[in-house]
A and B are shown apart, each in its own frame.
Chain A
Amino acid sequence: MNCVEFEIRLAKLKSGENPGDEFIKHRNQCAKCTKLANEVEGLFQLIEVDASKTVSPFLSTRIMAALDKKAMEVHISIQKAWQIAAVSLALIAGFNLALFMDYRQSPTDADSVLSEYFFAGNAGMEIENNWLKLSTDED
């Protein structure tokens, strides 16, 4: 086994697995590969230490409290949405009512002509006559 083969074998080695005679033989003969294998072993020990850290005993309580808070936020935002919708509807209704009242109280010239046209006995005759007269004049 040479150094490159040693490195490849080292990268494939599973924890607790027997690396084989050739690997051990090269490790014992090559100072560079011995150092590499030791360093890599040290790294994996470090990973093991980090991975064995235990989670805080309060984490689950924290998570459940955060979920409650989120649910409350959603509830409040739904409530707010309803409030905004209700206020908007009230405003629109008020605005329309004001328009309607205004319309009832002060009819414009156009309104007068229209109502005359629809409600008079000879509805719109005068307008039509004028128009006919105009178009005749133009001809």
Chain B
Amino acid sequence: MTENTNAIIVEKVKQGDKEAYRHLVMRYQQKVFQTCIGFLQNEADAEDLTQEIFIKAYQKIESFRFQSAFSTWLYRISVNTCVNFLRKQKVKRLLFMDSGNQSKELKGVSEPADYSIEREEQRRMLRTALKELTTMQRKVFVLSQYHDLSNKETAEVLEISEKAVESLLFRARMKLQKAVKERMTND
């Protein structure tokens, strides 16, 4: 599906053809889901949020003026929705001192039957390290590592320069390595 086809579909949706929107959902749901997995580290939450993102995009589609590719616009909504979701979750945890979600988070993405304690430990470390990242570092890291966007595409989604993406990604990876080193020291 090219950007031209996207534009035709978007126009149809704007004119009230809701069914046309299904094509956009089918085309981009996997990528949006990957972004949500990167932020949330939990499959069930990621699917719910993917749904929320597509509903939000549908409701906002009137404001899409073809100034960027539809995918860029959609990924921007995805990233912002994920960040807002995490913020709300954090506030909820602070307010209710809720540690219940933690256990749900630790299971996270379903594992094959032979997954080891080592893997679980690795996953825990990854989550801890991801939480240490600043919002921008995390956005860049997820778009680049989970969503597999190039630096140029990431820059377009986040409306920053490619240099900034490079620098944020480097700092994010250094923080990740620091977490690994700390774990190595504790072992």
Question: Which chain A residues have a beta carbon within 8 Å of chain B's beta carbons?
Answer: 7-8, 10-12, 32, 35-36, 39-40, 42-44, 46-47, 49-51, 53-56, 59-60, 62-64, 66-68, 70-71
Contacts and interface: CB of A to CB of B under 8 A. Distances in A.
B122 A42 contact: yes
Given A43-B122, A50-B41, A59-B47, A71 B18 contact: yes
Nearest to B51: A63
Contacts of B133: none
Given A11-B170, A50-B37, A55 B145 contact: no
Interface residues of B, number: 42
B123 interface: yes
Interface in B16-63: 18-19, 21-22, 25-26, 29-30, 33-34, 37-38, 41, 43, 47, 50-51, 54-55, 58-59
Contact of A51 (B18, B148, B183): B148
B21 A67 contact: yes
11 contacts: A7-B174, A11-B170, A36-B177, A36-B181, A42-B122, A49-B109, A51-B38, A51-B147, A53-B110, A54-B30, A63-B25
Interface of B: 18-19, 21-22, 25-26, 29-30, 33-34, 37-38, 41, 43, 47, 50-51, 54-55, 58-59, 108-110, 119, 122-123, 125-126, 145-148, 170, 173-174, 176-177, 180-181, 183-184
Contacts of B26: 60
B12 to A, nearest CB: 14
